[in-house]
Structure 1
Amino acid sequence: MSQIIEMSKKLKHASYGLSEASSKDKNEALREVALSLDRNRSHILSQNSNDIKAAEEIGMKESLIDRLMLNDERIDGMIKGILQIVELEDPIWRSNKVWTLENGLIINRMTVPLGVIGIIYESRPNVTVDAFSLAFKSSNCVILRGSSSALNSNIALVKAIKEGLKRSNISEDVIFLIDDADRKLVKEMLTLNEYIDVIIPRGGNDLIRFVIDNATIPTIETGVGNCHIYVDNTGKFDMALKIIENAKVQRPGVCNACESILIHKDIASDFLPLLHKLIGDRVELRGCAETLELIDIMEANEADWFEEYLDYKLAVKIVNNIEEAISHINKYGTKHSEAIITENYSNANLFLRRIDAAAVYVNASTRFTDGSEFGFGGEIGISTQKIHARGPMGLNELVTTKYTILGNGQYRE
Structure 2
Amino acid sequence: MLGSLFGKTTTACPYCYQQLDVAKVAFRCSGRGAPGRPACEEVTDLKLRRVFNDATPVMPAITQRGAVGSPTDANGEPLDVLGRSSATCGSCGGESGVRMCPECHSILPRSLDNDSPLFGLVGVRNSGKTVLLSVLHKELVRNVARRFDASIDTPGGSSGLARDLAQFEADMSGEQGSLPRQTPATGGQKKQPAVYEWKYVNKGKTSATIFSFYDSAGEDVSQQGEAMKQQYLGESSGVILLLDPFAFPENLSRAKERGVGTGANQDTPEGALNGITYMLQTSKKVKRNKRIKTPIAVVISKIDAFFDQVPANHPLRQSSSTDAVFDEAESKTIHDHVAAMVTRWGGDGLLRKLEQEYENFRLFGVSALGAEPEYLSARVNERGVLPLRVADPLLWLMADRNFIQKSDG
- Normalised by the length of structure 1, the TM-score is 0.27
- Hey, which of these two has a bigger chunk of helix by percent? 1
User: 1 or 2 for the larger relative contact order (CA 8 Å, sep ≥6)?
Assistant: 1
